Amino acid sequence: MNDAFMTGLEQCVPRLESERDEIAGVLLVSAKKTFFAGGDLNRLRAGSAEKAAEETAYINRMKGWMRRLEQLGRPVVAVLNGTALGGGLEVALCAHHRIAADLPGSRFGLPEVSLGLLPGGGGITRTVRMLGLHKALSEVILPAKKFTPRAALALGLVDEHLAWCPRAVRLGAARAADRGPPGADALR
């Protein structure tokens, strides 16, 4: 989660909103070996009390773009073709459906708590909404645990677990898209 990611959100989300009537849904997938590694640690290290208001505004802006994607009115599916930790999982959590590819070494979680940081991209709210307060805090957020794809499915962090191949991912995404956009209650 760096300035390039922010720029991408600021360009992509308005375009998706303007083309909403022409699209069936959105697939979030990475061309890298990981889905999304997380926050920019150099940016975090450069933070200071003097920059607190600026950093808060930056994070709130990012959360706003992710919330607009979540409220697009079309299915948003995250295809986790590799690790999604910290901010990477928070990006996946703003999708309506998460498909975890069964790849060796893939892990999902919010490990920033082990560094004394709290998830800042909506991960706390979304995990609590998905799993309930007790389960989200005691099993995901506070222990800063990293889950395998199967363990993430069993817990409820992901909705589907597939062997990795492009055809399987397309089938899983099509099944999710067939369910249609989430209802208004799901977006609250």
Catalytic residues: 90, 112
Dihedral sign for Cα 138, 142, 148, 149, please.
Answer: positive
**Nearest-angstrom CA–CA distance, 28 and 51:** 31
- Sheet strand arrangement including 97-102: 26-28, 76-80, 97-102, 160-163
Residue 111's Cα: distance from chain center in Å?
14
Annotate 47-69 with DSSP letters as a single string: --GGGHHHHHHHHHHHHHHHHHH
Looking at residue 34, the DSSP 8-state letter turns out to be S
CA distance 100 to 150: 8
Please state, in angstroms and rounded to a whole number, the distance separating the CA atoms of residues 132 and 51: 33
Q: How far is CA 49 from the centre of its chain?
A: 28
